[in-house]
Chain A
Amino acid sequence: MSFDINDLNNLHIDVLREIGNIGAGNAATALAEMLGKKVDMDVPKVRIVEFKDVSDILGGAEMIVVGILLNVYGDIKGNILFILQIDAAHVLVNMLLGKPLECKEDFNEIEISALKEIGNILTGSYISALSGLTGLDIKPSVPNMAVDMAGAIISVPAIEFGKIGDNVLYIETEFKEGSNRVIGDFFLIPDIESYEIMLKALGVLG
């Protein structure tokens, strides 16, 4: 294996950022349609983070978040992790299920299914954009969900990187609703070989 995270140049980073842009743009549109509201997104960040700092990338290792994790397989392998702030997750399911928006009881079975389905739809739109852009065959697994500490959730895909190096490389896009309220974060975390495959498919790696 020749590809190394540390060998990425600015062009590669720009291309990865564009992957995030197109994928998350599609997902943001899907989310906006579901909610009937405008959803904004930030310019995607391509970040390389040391493990010791990974727990804090969501703003605090102990912050409670909803994590929806899917495996991707086909021409590339890796994970897609959709993180929803807990308050935003409540608002989202309440809107979808026609409940009062301020309702914040623990998620019941129906709400969990609804959240997983949201994850499914958003991830599906992200992947289909990614697939269209690269011409690669990419499929998602069924979604799995956990409501827990941000650090514990983000560690799951991070561990995969631990097998080969000391950093995690990911493409993150933050979703915002209206003013500035953060709804969630979308992470594309391909395994290391898949970065190489994606960059080759886009013609920026020899």
Chain B
Amino acid sequence: MDNIIRVGMADLKSSRHPCVLTTLGLGSCVGIALYDAHSKVVGLAHIMLPSSTQSRNKSNVAKFADTAIEKLVEEMIKLGANKRHLVAKIAGGAQMFAFEDSSEMMRIGTRNVISTKEKLEELKIPIIAEDTGGNYGRTIELYSSDGSLLVRTIGHGVKKI
């Protein structure tokens, strides 16, 4: 049985093979799965907010897309990953509630996805798959054996990306 490691909201974890990293109930938050196929080191972050630059309180780096990705890459390198081999898969960024006065709060999912992509591009980590947007929650599981990401939803099926 694989070692299952759970990642909470505003949290990140990395591990060597064999393991499954999972995060449950992603809504507007984005799950960022990184994988190095050579070393089989995996990392998963569950971010809530797009950018640390707009926040006064930055004590938890896992909360923001920009700082979480940096920290995750750093941790994975310590575990033996090679930055040039890293690939990313992302999921989440939904809009759970459709408010008519689409306030800033309600568009946070889209902004989380955009910011995640910008940071990954800056670090030259290619996004090889994504399942983002929509109006529904997602649970994801990242497998260290092959880097596959299982996305489960309620009423919108299960897929492997």
A104-148 to B contact mask, C-beta < 8 Å, 1/0: 000000000000000000000000000000000000011011111
Interface of A is mostly: mixed
Known: A158-B48, A162-B48, A162-B49. A152 touches B8 (CB 8 A): no
Count residues on chain A whose CB falls below 8 Å from chain B CBs. Answer: 34
Report if A61-B139 is in contact (Cβ < 8 Å); known contacts: A149-B24, A164-B56, A166-B10.
yes
- Judge whether A155 and B57 touch: CB under 8 Å: no
Q: Which of A64, A148, A159 contacts B108 (CB under 8 A)?
A: A159
How far, in whole Å, are A145 and B25 apart by their CA atoms in the complex? 17
A52 to B56, CA, bound (A): 20
Q: Which of the residues A71, A148, A163, A165 comes within 8 Å of B137, measured between beta carbons?
A: A148
Whether A146 pairs with B135 at a CB distance below 8 angstroms is: yes
Tell me whether A149 and B154 are in contact in the complex, defined as CB-CB below 8 angstroms, given that A159-B48, A159-B49 are known contacts.
Answer: yes
CB-contacts of A32-55 with B (<8 A): 51-55
A–B complex contacts, Cβ < 8 Å, 15 sampled: A52-B8, A55-B9, A71-B99, A71-B103, A141-B101, A144-B97, A145-B97, A147-B154, A149-B27, A153-B25, A153-B96, A156-B27, A158-B48, A162-B49, A166-B59
Q: Which residues on A are within 8 Å of B, measured CB to CB?
A: 51-55, 61-62, 64, 67, 69, 71, 141-142, 144-156, 158-160, 162-166
